[in-house]
Amino acid sequence: MLTLYSYFRSSASFRVRIALNLKALAYEVIPVHLLRGGGEQFSADFADRNPARLIPVLRHDALTLTQSLAIIEYLEEVYPLPPLLPPAHAARAQVRSLALSVACDVHPLSNLRVMRYLKSPLDIDEQRRNEWSRHWIGLGFAAIERTLVAAGSAGTCCFGDTPTLADCCLIPQVHNAERVQCSLEAFPTMRRIHAHCMLLPAFARAAPGAQSDAE
């Protein structure tokens, strides 16, 4: 039995929801509200699941896993079909590189706890906090767009025409970008990939607005 601790707006959870859906795996969602009452991730109960107090957390029977990319790689190994990584070594590294560009270089800078810290104690107002997000997302997206164009391997998805780990990471980050009104004008390849992927049921069903805890 697969159980995902998730929050509808969490882009790291969105990544795992996409992967689970692409692999047509049945899973139960346990919503963890990241804001209510200061954040359910800070409850004593949740600390047992993830001492880092971050979602997603995936439970597979008695096993508890954290970190969205480790979770997706675990799913890939246990449920290899359909694959989320291409077969060739070089291509696998390229896909992982794109995924890590989002997960390591872009996403953490605008994570909720970072944004909260900017607010208090650093006393940065909302407009400047959003500027901060737009800056880091824009910088990361410029590199990703250039990489996608230079590699010449993008099709309707980041790598060819089949969704991979890279799409699982990129699409949720585009949603984050839209939430802070980050202009996507300079990123036509990413916009095209995003528009295509969101037509796929696995992505559409994983979207924030499609979740049972959506507000």
Cα 163 from Cα 160, distance rounded (Å): 8
C-alpha 44: how far from chain center: 25
Whether 160 contacts 86, CB under 8 Å: yes
71-80 burial, b for 16+ CB within 10 Å, e for fewer? bbbbbbeebe
CB of 115 to ligand GSH, least distance (A): 8
Is 164 one of the binding residues for ligand GSH (CB under 6 A)?
no
Prior bond to 201 cis, omega within 30?
A: no
- From the number of C-beta atoms within 10 Å of its C-beta (0-12, 13-18, 19+), residue 128 rates as exposed
Residues 10-29 that bind ligand GSH (CB under 6 A): 10-12
Nearest CB to ligand GSH, comparing residues 22 and 34 = 34
CB of 12 to ligand GSH, least distance (A): 4
What DSSP line would sit under 17-41, residue for residue? HHHHHHTT---EEEE--SSGGG-GG
CB of 161 to ligand GSH, least distance (A): 26
When binding is defined by CB under 6 A, the residue of 4, 19, 55, 84 that contacts ligand GSH is 55
Residues 60-89 that bind ligand GSH (CB under 6 A): 67-69
When binding is defined by CB under 6 A, the residue of 19, 22, 54, 157 that contacts ligand GSH is 54
Residues 112-151 that bind ligand GSH (CB under 6 A): 112-113
Binding site for ligand GSH (CB under 6 A): 10-12, 34, 39, 41, 54-56, 67-69, 103, 111-113
